[in-house]
Structure 1
């Protein structure tokens, strides 16, 4: 059993936790917690490296079920709770932390979602979770977004990385090429006059959600064919990016679901 916090496996996981450069270099992501790791296994992913604390996992039914899977898997090492905690990103780890390869999923039919300068990891992860639930065919993170594989993004996305096609940090010229097949490119803009529910989401389209603080960037506005707003009756000037994006995504799903 691994007990030292300076063990090479612990140090490797910690480097993935702390460094976007390391994550990009290895094309690895760091997952922790019973639910996220179990979901990765359910999606067919297998860890490049996994540390688990048997006693912690045995303490809950879900943890015990995961432990039974880990016992015959390669690259899975028992460790003390202290060693697991040294590699984890949360204050109260659940006894399992693992490195997985970045999923490589091809774009599929459906709405294209462009995230433009979404810097808050919680908002970015929540948008990915909503995009997966709404059947988005591709998410593209434009320049200025938080790291798609930041541990906070992964926790907020709740496993969406394993079933949602993702592209990260293209330049705007490449992004124009990504959206060439989408004649409708909507941008969410609090200053727009057209309500989001009057747009036609039933055909090939893309949606751009801009920065929490600054709204859509100039390149995003130039790419858009229509600007949409969410009518509001309270005193708030705007909604946060995750809430606003989710409202638009599920309007798109509602309209597409009504097609006979």
Structure 2
């Protein structure tokens, strides 16, 4: 384990840039995982990080110490920082002061949509994006495609909201969603509060792969994607509320798909 105690240290400056700048994360192709849960999930699902960074005081925490020991046992890189320096690289209030530096995953780009997927069309709120990723991972969906206007999936806020779902998903940024929809080999379902068809329409078969299109929080799915969709569907709701939050809508759609899939398997 190495120790860094100077704010002028080159590695520390790199950490601060990764913690505070989306541009720096994109340029370096690296991301930060902040906290025990994300770091533990990465170790379990993906393996060693590029670097493990911990505050000196946090080493007294049994969970943190266990993670650090696993990294060291596998001959990974570990650096300890004084508490005063660690505060500038963590955005978690009252956190445990443990961070992984990882190489941002870059999966091979499929030529067409052939499996169940999520297409995010300008979803801007990091919390919404993270919640959608979490629901997608829990429902067994494995691909997420993001338009250029969608919140960066590897930002700290999205990572925290997704709670490790990133590590079971293939995430594609800056995707050309209209081109993807045109060539899709699975039905493309655009969610819209104004759609005539209900998610619960008996004729809507979700027991096979589909691509869900979810749009901007205020404007919804773009007109171009609505026109390209195989079908437009709405989540029915009662009361005076105009529409569901996009993350709530996504969760309802994904788990209706999972319900139909399981029911189909049971009937075979």
Please report the TM-score for the alignment, with normalisation by the length of structure 1: 0.91
Task: Structure 2: give runs of 5+ residues left out of the alignment.
Answer: none
Task: Structure 1: give runs of 5+ residues left out of the alignment.
Answer: none
The CA distance in 1 between the partners of 2:83 and 2:71, in whole Å, is: 16
How much does 1:130 deviate? 0.5
The CA distance in 1 between the partners of 2:103 and 2:192, in whole Å, is: 36
Moved more, 38-47 or 119-128: 38-47
**Does residue 186 of structure 1 match 2:189?**
yes
Matched residue count? 257
Deviations 1:134-190 (A, max 9, x none): 11131101231001111100111111111101111122454236x5211x2111101
SS in 2 for 1:197: coil
**Does residue 223 of structure 1 match 2:228?**
yes
2:212 match: 207
SS in 2 for 1:181: coil
2:124 match: 119
The CA distance in 1 between the partners of 2:24 and 2:206, in whole Å, is: 39
The CA distance in 2 between the partners of 1:23 and 1:202, in whole Å, is: 38
1:9 match: 11
The CA distance in 2 between the partners of 1:162 and 1:105, in whole Å, is: 11
Distance 1:185 1:225, change over 3 A: same
Distance 1:70 1:80, change over 3 A: farther
Deviations 1:196-241 (A, max 9, x none): 1222111232110111111111222122121111111122111111
1:67 match: 68
CA contact (8 A) 2:90 2:97 kept: no
The CA distance in 2 between the partners of 1:196 and 1:236, in whole Å, is: 18
CA contact (8 A) 1:5 1:82 kept: no
Q: Give 4+ residue runs of structure 1 displaced > 6 Å after superposition.
A: none
**Does residue 197 of structure 1 match 2:197?**
no
CA contact (8 A) 1:210 1:241 kept: yes
2:171 match: 166
The CA distance in 2 between the partners of 1:88 and 1:202, in whole Å, is: 42
SS in 1 for 2:244: coil
How much does 1:109 deviate? 6.6
Moved more, 43-52 or 127-136: 43-52
Alignment of 1:245-260 (within 5 A): 245-259=250-264, 260=268
The CA distance in 2 between the partners of 1:236 and 1:91, in whole Å, is: 33
The CA distance in 2 between the partners of 1:87 and 1:243, in whole Å, is: 31
The CA distance in 2 between the partners of 1:32 and 1:174, in whole Å, is: 35
The CA distance in 2 between the partners of 1:110 and 1:152, in whole Å, is: 27
SS in 2 for 1:258: helix
Please report the TM-score for the alignment, with normalisation by the length of structure 2: 0.89
